[in-house]
Structure 1
């Protein structure tokens, strides 16, 4: 999916925003405007390059040769800059020649000195920063985006898109305060530009970050405002329903985080109704008159999987294990079909999250062999994506630890939980891991000092869960004769 992304780990829930305006997307086959009076040789080379790029299988080497040939004609500055962008984009997305891709993208970014050339200079900045992030050069990506944001205020689409992208970058670095600030700037800019739709997207993304930060006091009024905007906004039905899905997903997550499982059911019913409504709407191209509104949250197929996912989360918390297995199976089948046609990283994220939930379900219901097979699937998915491995390594070790407990391998369980503790700073996950590690110590016997050490950690006091300490230190320990 093209366009900006505002990606945040809401238990690895990822928000993505994409442009649906084809005129703003760079491809090897796009012509220059009539004012540039393209020469026949340029159009011919461009046509050949596009033919080779879209061949089955793509002939990327020949596509690159055609684009490189443009420079032999000493083209005007605009043609040269656009060709650098096209070459950089093709090399970045289709080859491993990262050095050459970087060279062309950096040259394209220098086109910012050319007036009235917004689509090239801002897209070049967007792709170059994406490239830097892939190469773990985040500190190089930030100034590129900041400069582009500064000079794009007269171009609403690109200004919003670049704000989303920089917010995503900060969120990936766990700098959620900076990300929230940028989304707030975007919401105000969208309001000034008269796009309540894009304002809602910024505010909902901000609400998601506040949920991640567990600033529940700030989440409630923000979601109330978002609900008002979503219900009052009149626009394309798909955009309207997608906003409603985004809002309801955050509502469900908010209730589940607060332990208010019973409050979730009405939201889930509304989510299912939204998905049914969206599935009946034709996929007409959406081209709003306001350039600040040229975004869409998720494809409807992805939204369907997401609704399955939050339903599974609710079922697990409510203890409806059969229902959780039923919806997990449906979601995984849908994901397999989608992944045959769509390589979007969010699909793998959804798959990992679904598997993590169903693995816990299998362990509770005693299906240990199946759980181990599904843990292996999670390992394979994480190996294919460094980002997934980084964000799910602690969960993976925790699941292995739970499996080891289920088969009475306490030494291995201890090793897995210890490894998980070293890989997470997430307070709730830390609590869950330490509590299970304490249970391992109890089962092994004569390790009450280590149990007390774990349960009296400062992080536990910070979490205000002294009830765990009281429970383990008194009733349970005394029952087993540890004190």
Structure 2
């Protein structure tokens, strides 16, 4: 709150000092702080002090109270007065920045946009504020899902940064643009842009802290893009060794005097949203390993470095992307995503536990919305892992936890509602509530516009119809829309392999075994190519079942044994249950009494574990979430008397 006023009067310094003391008290004494600042106006101060005091009052009221109308009044006065004063950029543009945030909070986006455009227009001689305001307006367009306008602004910012000699901020603008292009699925534009970013980062010899920040930003986008888009889109850029020197992953850039806020690129929320989509649409799992390893090595190096207190010489460089601690969580997150898609579920759970523990510590000191977003995405991953590993009750409690987080943030719910209903649909399948599963998937389809998530939901809905066996018209309509042989709707390698599996499953139920084998062999070829272990295990056990039905017991055994081994490694309880049942019957048919007895015992153990977990899950009050298909998450979940679902197909 300090002020740089020429020859300040003692009364002003005294009031300002008292206001700052009250503001920084523990707990803050905001009412007394406001009284001190309001007292400044009693002295009829000069315009510079008047404008700055209005800004300080508006900022305090905006950040510490719910009196948004009074905050708005002070900020508007600061903006109006400061425009009439020469060389008063810090007050002028900070007032515009905070006022536009307040407008957005009040859902007055149409008031925020022209304000930011005016501020951008008159800030071209002030590089720091010009860049910051461009980022802010781009973020506003992004929140409105006007990604075209946001990308245009980021492109303008990149060119401006180049002109004023800031290659660092140019890279930040370009990386932010690349992230939005990924969200918009303009993959043809992403490849050259990321290649350019890689060259800029490699050649830039500035502040080591900032260089490490760019490196992590670049690698996070490269890894998630590689998972989402596939090998053909990989950027060919070899990361040089981490340079000796200070720092940091997330670039904390610098502090610009006290009256400047730390300038943070708010597009990190969009990174998390982009990654959350990849939860359901991973593609090239095996091929991404080298990029992911680079990212993990980079974050390990960053965690050992110290923050640099030296301010960059170019004011356009005064930005940071994410705090170091946030970036560490983000790297955990993409590692979890990769592990889950590859079928290394124990590894995914281990890194999720680490990330959630780190998040709990951070949330005690930091109320940044990005932390809740990271928490939701991590829970989405671990919930799917729990369902696979036979921990439905825990998964259901974690789904309820996601609901609680979404209750606290309407924007979080808007961004994750479709995923939440998808997770409930998967849970419903696991407890054999097929009508509820259909309702949940249908709700999720209504709430999503993301093509990969849509395809994932349709694939699972098709499996529900196959199991129900009496929904032929709806099933064939769905399968036409996810035909892996013709016009498949997305580029995801994993989803296309899953679509072949669904085709094979349907052919198996219809008794068309040769057709089923063709589809399943295609799934095996694709899943083996990218280490999609769960799909591999499912395909092997289904092929084994087909050969068993056809009487080819030796060939069946050759499929089921590796399926069991792979399912145990994952571990996938349902595939282990299925495999052990087949091994029991196979060994009986082959005359292997001892092996048949061991398989029967395994099957009994898996059955009991799944049965107990099933009863525990259905007995939880959270089980009633399966009936929620409309509106925000229910605030209170009523308990029920006991399980109401069929256990027959588990045994």
TM superposition score normalised by structure 1: 0.89
The offset of 1:456, in angstroms, is 4.3
Distance 2:212 2:12 in 1: 43
The offset of 1:474, in angstroms, is 6.7
Check if 1:442 corresponds to 2:466.
yes
Aligned pair partner of 1:264 in 271, 288, 305: 288
1:53-452 matched pairs, under 5 angstroms: 53-110=23-80, 111-257=82-228, 258=230, 259-452=283-476
1:36-80 Cα distance to aligned partner (Å, 9 max, x none): x22111111111111111111111111111111111111111111
Q: Larger Rg: 1 or 2?
A: 2
The offset of 1:198, in angstroms, is 0.6
The offset of 1:442, in angstroms, is 2.4
Distance 1:276 1:467 in 2: 35
**Equivalent position of 1:11 in the other structure:** none
**Equivalent position of 2:242 in the other structure:** none
* Residues 452 and 473, structure 1, Cα contact 8 Å, conserved in 2: no
* Residues 452 and 490, structure 2, Cα contact 8 Å, conserved in 1: no
* Residues 395 and 420, structure 1, Cα contact 8 Å, conserved in 2: yes
**Equivalent position of 1:17 in the other structure:** none
The offset of 1:451, in angstroms, is 2.1
* Residues 446 and 482, structure 1, Cα contact 8 Å, conserved in 2: no
**Equivalent position of 1:39 in the other structure:** 9
* Residues 308 and 327, structure 1, Cα contact 8 Å, conserved in 2: yes
The offset of 1:136, in angstroms, is 1.5
Aligned pair partner of 2:489 in 431, 445, 463: 463
Distance 1:474 1:304 in 2: 40
Count matched residues.
453
The offset of 1:457, in angstroms, is 5.6
Distance 2:477 2:76 in 1: 53
1:159-215 Cα distance to aligned partner (Å, 9 max, x none): 000000111111111111111111110010000000111111111111111111111
The offset of 1:150, in angstroms, is 0.3
Distance 1:92 1:407 in 2: 48
Distance 1:378 1:467 in 2: 29
The offset of 1:471, in angstroms, is 5.7
- The answer to which of 75-84 and 455-464 deviates more is 455-464
TM superposition score normalised by structure 2: 0.67
The offset of 1:33, in angstroms, is 3.0
**Equivalent position of 1:19 in the other structure:** none
1:85-125 Cα distance to aligned partner (Å, 9 max, x none): 11111111111111111111111121222221100110111
Distance 2:134 2:381 in 1: 33
Distance 1:52 1:99 in 2: 22
* Alignment RMSD (CA, Å): 2.2
* Residues 72 and 99, structure 2, Cα contact 8 Å, conserved in 1: yes
The offset of 1:453, in angstroms, is 3.5
Aligned pair partner of 1:480 in 509, 521, 524: 509
Distance 1:73 1:151 in 2: 31
Secondary structure of the corresponding residue to residue 261 of structure 1: coil
The offset of 1:231, in angstroms, is 1.1
The offset of 1:280, in angstroms, is 2.2
Secondary structure of the corresponding residue to residue 287 of structure 1: coil
Gaps of 5+ in 1: 1-26
Secondary structure of the corresponding residue to residue 447 of structure 2: coil
In the superposition, relative to structure 1, how do residues 247 and 389 fare at CA in structure 2: closer, same or farther (>3 Å)?
Answer: same
1:373-425 Cα distance to aligned partner (Å, 9 max, x none): 11111111111112111101111111111111111111221221122122111
Distance 2:337 2:34 in 1: 47
Distance 2:132 2:85 in 1: 21
Distance 1:303 1:355 in 2: 18
In the superposition, relative to structure 1, how do residues 474 and 154 fare at CA in structure 2: closer, same or farther (>3 Å)?
Answer: closer
- The answer to which of 69-78 and 167-176 deviates more is 69-78
1:274-309 Cα distance to aligned partner (Å, 9 max, x none): 222222222232410100001111111111111111
- The answer to which of 181-190 and 228-237 deviates more is 228-237
* Residues 271 and 307, structure 1, Cα contact 8 Å, conserved in 2: yes
Distance 2:215 2:414 in 1: 31
Distance 1:422 1:474 in 2: 24
* Residues 448 and 482, structure 1, Cα contact 8 Å, conserved in 2: no
* Residues 5 and 49, structure 2, Cα contact 8 Å, conserved in 1: no
Distance 1:414 1:256 in 2: 28
Secondary structure of the corresponding residue to residue 450 of structure 1: helix
In the superposition, relative to structure 1, how do residues 224 and 54 fare at CA in structure 2: closer, same or farther (>3 Å)?
Answer: same
